[in-house]
Chains A and B, each alone.
Chain A
């Protein structure tokens, strides 16, 4: 079995998050805890479900993770795009400087 990671969306703003080793949710994929086996994955999912009950996140699930050049990365294209935090197509989104004021 490949390594896995728990992901979800933050309830308040929907932003993609990953479950870190300390049980907190991180917006950076790199901060997510790598889960080497089924037991670790199940334990992490149990922690995540508590966050669901606490109204921190929704849509919790496991993703497959592989290692490339010593760095973890999501296996699927879908999760790779999610982890990047933005679509692959709008350079402006990356340079977006923030919302206007009221």
Chain B
């Protein structure tokens, strides 16, 4: 993985020193909160419901075991023993003291980490396919380009005060595991007719108040022009994006208002003026970054591992975990392991400092010391020998991180909601916990099959509810928490925004409503192989409405 050079290390240390001075001046009353707020936000420090919150960047979701151990240490030493992995592949601490945050940042700098650009109207942490470098269908490792984008976007003087925050995702495979179509810019690697590798460029996707699936504006961008093209998009957005209305400031609004054709023309026009400038990526630089992501020293192994296959058959629980949490690896004899952070009754994405230590140890023992964070709020050990899977499963089970549910209904994305967040209208985590308890039978959730259920506590949609096959949005109705349900969303190649199924449900009724939706799907699916989303697309929303509300309008809850 990428290692800091002398410039990176000095830059991060200098930034911590600056922030320490800013905190000291704030505490001494030399600067007001209005003056301090943009400074703390640029260093990932929010004020939340109960306390400050610190968001730490995990570039493209890749961590070394040393870094994960440090995150665990910070959780125990400076927080309340746990952290929350987010949909931006970052981690958040919920209780840091302001006067101790510079010390936390010092610890992070020791392991080449920071919290820069995890907040504010700038280019945020670049995300990537969590199976980067190991996926069977991958063309190239997207982290190489995510790292190049990270270096270009860090403290980019022109883009430090954009109209609004800006999120970029990269996938190196035809299968989109990085939700690129719901990002401000999404990049998908592909080959052209001459077998050259480049990018398909998507813009204007996003969730929040106005969910939009992005549009492709360039079908093939040669690699060497990646930065000049990104710079062109950002320039058009920076110049024309709205700054008068917070809710209309994202690039998706600009692209929609301008029209794809005109927006593309503006970008291409800008690009012509900078295309062959200093932003052109030399192949040597791509090669240099590539060396950081060189494959580990894999052993030459047969793909068929008799002991593993025997263990699968002998132990149904292990077999179920393999079925849902283990994915094919590009190297024979190896597998990708999803470490579920969605135990029954747990808070999705939360991990204790001790669990972080355990995963770090397991990464050292079984996966070349590397860990990934997924935007689904799980962890990944990307390089596990098949012959080690049973032992790894036993160790993960002992730490409640082997729930066999990845991709299933209980593998929910959930934002912190009203339990932590200043912006939330309703709680997300208790609903997730109740759903995970309700659907606790592993055989049943496997029978239901692939089903993405996402929960947000407010319209800002940090829980990606719009792109859940089933989405739940918490709303406040005269001081009471209610939950609106959407159906038919997806963040993948078939990206779509879910439709509201009808009037919202009370806290008491929302889990029952999910059960009704699942039962309707099971009743209507063409076969056990037809996924929820496919059944929904085949039969539409009406059968679900009918099951939930009946035919009679009189039986429906009061309209909102």
Give A contacts to B, CB under 8 Å. Answer: 9, 11-16, 52-55, 58-59, 75-78, 81-82, 85-90, 92-93, 96, 99-102
Contact = CB atoms under 8 A, between A and B. Distances in A.
Contacts of A100: 76-77
A90 B430 CA distance: 10
Contacts of A92: 81-82, 352
Contact of A13 (B29, B77, B97, B352): B97
B78 interface: yes
B27 interface: yes
Contact of B433 (A76, A77, A89): A89
B412 to A, nearest CB: 14
Contacts of A52: 33
Interface residues of B, number: 38
B26 A55 contact: yes
B98 A12 contact: yes
A25 B197 CA distance: 61
B364 interface: no
B221 interface: no
A9 B49 CA distance: 9
14 contacts: A11-B26, A12-B99, A14-B51, A14-B97, A16-B50, A55-B28, A55-B29, A77-B476, A77-B479, A81-B419, A87-B429, A88-B427, A89-B430, A100-B76
Contacts of B430: 88-89
B419 A75 contact: no
B439 interface: no
Contact of A89 (B76, B81, B429): B429
B525 to A, nearest CB: 33
B47 A99 contact: no
Contacts of A76: 479
Contacts of B27: 11-12, 55
Main secondary structure of the interface of A (DSSP, over half): loop
B350 to A, nearest CB: 8
Given A89-B433, A96-B81, A99-B77, A9 B419 contact: no
- Nearest first, the 4 closest Cβ-Cβ pairs linking A and B are A87-B419, A14-B51, A14-B52, A13-B97
A58 to B, nearest CB: 5
B480 interface: yes
B29 A54 contact: yes
B501 to A, nearest CB: 24
Contacts of A16: 49-51
Interface string B50-92: 1110000000000000000000000011111110000000000
Contacts of A55: 26-29
B418 interface: yes
Given A14-B97, A87-B420, A92-B352, 15 more contacts: A11-B26, A12-B98, A14-B48, A14-B52, A58-B47, A59-B33, A59-B47, A77-B418, A77-B481, A78-B418, A81-B419, A88-B419, A90-B350, A100-B76, A102-B77
A76 B481 CA distance: 10
A77 B480 contact: yes
B262 to A, nearest CB: 42
A9 B47 contact: yes
Contacts of B479: 75-77
B22 to A, nearest CB: 13
Contacts of B352: 92
B347 interface: yes
Contacts of A89: 347, 419, 427, 429-430, 433
Interface string B461-486: 00000000000000010011100000
B429 A82 contact: no
Contact of A87 (B26, B50, B52): B50
Given A54-B29, A89-B433, A99-B76, A81 B82 contact: no
Contacts of B49: 16, 78, 81-82
Contacts of B76: 99-100
Contacts of A11: 26-27, 98
A82 B50 contact: yes
Interface string B247-290: 00000000000000000000000000000000000000000000
Interface in B343-374: 347, 350, 352
Contacts of A86: 50
B423 to A, nearest CB: 10
